[in-house]
Amino acid sequence: MGGRSSYSTGSSSTTLSAPAPAPVKKESPHPALKHGCPAIRLEEFLAWEKAHLGILNRVKMPQRVAMFLGTWEEPNAVKPEPVVAEEPQAEEPRAERSLAEEREHKEDVPFYGRRRCDQGKFREDVMLNCGGRCVYTNAIAVRCEAAHLKAHARKGGASFKNGLLLRADIHKLFDAGLCAIDPHTLKLWFAPDLVKKDADLAAIDGITMRKTLLPINKDNIEDRWDAFVKILLA
């Protein structure tokens, strides 16, 4: 009557266990460590990378680490090309012409110095492909020169795919390695010292190339760009 009732599940009793702890997710090591950056220098690398992020945006991690450690080998220096003086000629109506996809590379021939084989045809092709104006400043043809993207001395060739019409002063800076074109964005960048001293260059620093009639070979500007980035990070 007044006794307590009990609940039994039989000979064995049921024990409730606490839920198992969630597995601890291991963080993946930073990509820089996988490409040779010492762990003790990782924080230093991250600070260096942050300081140069604008330039390193298109540089892959293995090359970033190599640049940071000073083990990256600079591409062969691009030698400035001698500028070939051309006599101004009156513009005459020309018949329709097409762009040559490729033109056989020919060595220079001596002529009171050196004159380029096919230089005249190369300039005409580049002018036609670039609409007769500088692809960055829109300067008219008389103020421009046909620039080889890959130096003629390095078997760049005389195809329109290896050339751009650039304002004469920009062409000289381009050949001297003081400005370069990002092969991914086709933006033109100048050395910081020039930008600080020249308001005209500062106004077009980082400008995107105007579209050409037919595309250029972007591979031909990679060596110049790599050498330019190396100088900026030095």
Q: Would you say 108 and 115 are in contact if contact means Cβ atoms under 8 Å apart? A: yes
Alpha carbon distance 234, 224 (integer Å): 16
Delimit the domains of the chain by residue range. 31-69, 109-233
User: How far is residue 13 from each of residues 7, 16, 51, measured CA to CA in Å?
Assistant: 10, 10, 65
pLDDT of 17 reads 62
pLDDT per residue over 29-87, tens digit each?
Answer: 888 888 888 989 989 888 878 876 656 666 778 878 887 787 765 444 444 445 454 55
